[in-house]
Amino acid sequence: MCGIAGILAFPGGDRPMAAEVEAMVRRIQHRGPDGQGLYKDTFACLGHARLSIIDLSGGAQPLANEDRTIWVTFNGEIFNYIELRRHLKKRGHVFSTQSDTEVIVHLYEEYGLDFPSHLNGQFAIALWDSVRGRLVLTRDQAGIRPLFFYSGCQRLYFGSEVKAIFACPEVPRSLNLAGVAQIFTYWGAPGADTVFQAIESVAPGCTVVFDKHGARYDRRYWDWDFPPHSAVDTRSFQDCLEGLDQVLKSAIARQVRSDVPVGAYVSGGLDSAMIISYLARALPGPIPTFSLRFADREFDEGPYQKAVVQKFGTVHTEVTASTSEIGRAFPQAVWHAESPLLRTAPVPMMLLAQCVRAHGIKVVLTGEGADETLAGYDLFREARVRRFWARVPESRMRPALLSRLYPYLSASPAASAAYAQRFFGQGLESAKRPGFGHWPRWQTTRRAMQFLNPDLRASLEFDYKAAAEALLPHGHERWNVLSVDQYIEAHTLLSGYLLSSQGDRMALAHSVETRVPFLDLKVMEYANRLPARYKLMGLKEKYILKALGRGRIPDVVCARPKQPYRAPDSQSFFHKGVPDPHVASAFEKKRLLEVGYFDAESACKLFDKCRLGKAIGFADNMAFVGIYSTMLVHEQFVEGQGVESGVRDALPKARVG
């Protein structure tokens, strides 16, 4: 995995200088510490920070075609590069390296702007066509790898992370508070939106093209798609089961392509256990595996992790993240996430990546994406119960089904029948609206909005239900309601938070590449075509994947209910009622008033509530973490006080056992 950056000059803009792009690359050197490269001509300058995974000696970037008219700087992996290379050589293209990067320039020569649709991988690409004078920015189908850009000062600036763009002093720094409001609702800013004014993200599955005259062209080359609800699928469950087995097996075979050792994360859940079951067949020798532990049993999954490790005989390392370590490392996690966070969960992932890198591993496979592709979240089950309830809203028996959800929570929202009636019963009259299944989560998340400065809050209020519906493509009305829920989840939580703030950014903080086979293009497309009943059977989530796992992973893991990964939140910042100095400073009334985003009185009351251990459930915890992280984003990026060097030295060392 790597970091990319560059500048394109438009008419009237200053020509890019090598020193400018070198400074941009240095800012993201944690993404690629194994080497740096640069290409420059009159209009464009491309930079690259390399993490060597494939063709260690010959894959340096930026890389060109034969006549050096097309240049590419690329972050990610093209998993089907061997097949593409074979095809392109038959078409007469000449290769000079063994790297996956080189297929990109030849694909562009062959297919023009349609080249991304041929790629199966996780990628963010900047391609400069010097003959046509155009820069092509494109990103993988699911949004696994990030890519940002800013158009201003008669120039275009791009980078894998916003901090690379902010390395250029002429780029303005201010928060896009509408983007913050989206995060305080959906957990992430959907599509091209970001939390910084005028900074855009290339949306998943999209291409943005700029020519040297400043003209811009956007296109979507891929999107999540599902068969019509009325379509008759005659495949038997066994046929679908065998098909899923084959696409997962093929995905793993593609994703273990590497010239460095490959490891895996063990979460204790079904998804990572399935990945390891395939890895055990695909790789020779024991697999290096890594897992997170917590002292608090509510968060810890150690016994399930141990069952997987013993089953497959992996070479295993555990990292125990304490609440104090999470609190101390939180500012660093925000620096890498470049976004407000609503949970501390990314922090232990960053500490885990630190351990992985210390053990000499650059590549790990994870189970991320299975819940989106195969309907694993409680949200999907909860939505099914609520839609069933909505048919007879006066029923007291139907909402009782909610008690089957959230068994892992010490304070389950479904534990109290009266509370469940009030909370989950909201909006039942609108059960046919798209997004209905997500409303309870968004209502809880939006608790953070109540702490904004009142004038600011009024200006940022938006119809979050209608905005989510607007994300849906033409023709979604024909889909099964589960498919609609999956689509919204993929375009909000998955790409906006899980793959970015909790995924790519935490792993690359320590130069570790994560690979996600459940988001392999072929796996996603196969899973999307499966009948909905095979994914969510009654209230049994990921039904087909559990069926596939029986007999190949430990029974105790295969049979356990879904337990999402979580970490201690507000309690991580207080120790016997004493706050960490930095969090105390952020919540000082004077500081809150100076920054101006939040209502100082209510924010201070929340601070005291959390300090005394009286935070109530998810809503208080998310609001507290959201306020603190937003203050950190302001401090680090708007005021420019982010950590420029010594990143790893600043982190606490998690306990390894």
CB distance 268 to 557 below 8 Å = yes
Which residues have CB under 8 Å from 337's CB, separation 6+?
A: 346, 500, 501, 505, 506
From residue 401, how far is each of 336, 507, 607 by CA, in Å? 41, 38, 36
φ/ψ of 632, rounded to 5, equals: -70, -40
**Is residue 160 pLDDT above 70, yes or no?**
yes
β-pair type (70-78, 121-129) = antiparallel
pLDDT confidence bin for 616, thresholds 50/70/90: confident
The amino acid sitting at 496 is: G
Domain limits, the chain:
3-220, 237-373+492-558
Q: Is pLDDT of 651 > 90?
A: no
Give the architecture-level CATH label for domain 237-373+492-558.
3-Layer(aba) Sandwich (3.40)
Question: Whole-angstrom Cα distance, residue 108 to residue 115?
Answer: 5
pLDDT at 248 over 80: yes
Model confidence at 84, pLDDT cuts 50, 70, 90, reads very high
Give the confidence band of 561 by pLDDT, cuts at 50, 70, 90: confident
3-state DSSP assignment of residue 255: helix
pLDDT category at 656 given cuts 50, 70, 90 is: low
Q: Which residue has the higher pLDDT, 601 or 56?
A: 601
- Reported as a pLDDT band with limits 50, 70 and 90, residue 399 is confident
Query: In angstroms, rounded to a whole number, what is the distance separating the alpha carbons of residues 281 and 279?
Result: 5
- The answer on pLDDT for 653 being more than 50 is no
Over residues 261-289, mean pLDDT:
95
- Six-digit token pair at 354? 């630190």
Q: Give the separation between CA 518 and CA 512, rounded to whole angstroms.
A: 19
Higher pLDDT, 403 or 431: 431
What is the average pLDDT across 501-520? 97
More confidently predicted of 450 and 424? 450
pTM > 0.75: yes
**What pLDDT does 408 receive?**
67
CA distances from residue 45 to 24, 49, 124 in whole angstroms, order as listed: 11, 14, 17
Mean pLDDT for all residues in the chain? 93
Mean pLDDT value of segment 479-490:
97
How confident is the model over 587-615, as pLDDT tens digits?
999 999 999 999 999 999 999 999 999 98
Q: Please give the pLDDT value at position 415.
A: 62
CB 131 within 8 A of CB 64: no
Q: Determine the average pLDDT of the residues in 400-404.
A: 84
Residue 566 tokens read as: 């979580």
User: Who has greater pLDDT, 459 or 414?
Assistant: 459
Residue 237: per-residue pLDDT = 97
Question: Do the beta carbons of residue 490 and residue 456 sit within 8 Å?
Answer: no
* Cα gap 291→585, rounded to integer Å: 33
**Each residue of 21-55: pLDDT tens digit?**
999 999 999 999 988 999 999 999 999 998 887 77
User: Phi and psi dihedrals of 208, rounded to 5?
Assistant: -125, 125
pLDDT of residue 280: 95
Token pair 């609520």 is found at: 386
Average of per-residue pLDDT across 511-523: 97
The predicted pLDDT at position 646 comes to: 35
CA–chain centroid gap for 285, Å, is 30
pLDDT of residue 296: 86
Q: Which two tokens stand for residue 81?
A: 């590069």
User: Can you tell me the mean pLDDT for 63-83?
Assistant: 96
CATH number of 3-220: 3.60.20.10
CA distance 305 to 266: 6
pLDDT band at 259 (very low <50, low <70, confident <90, very high): confident
Asked if the peptide bond before residue 62 counts as cis, ω within 30 degrees of 0, the response is: yes
pLDDT 10s digits, 306-359: 999 999 999 999 999 999 999 999 999 999 999 999 999 999 999 999 999 999
Work out the average pLDDT over 63-86.
96
**187 pLDDT higher than 50:** yes
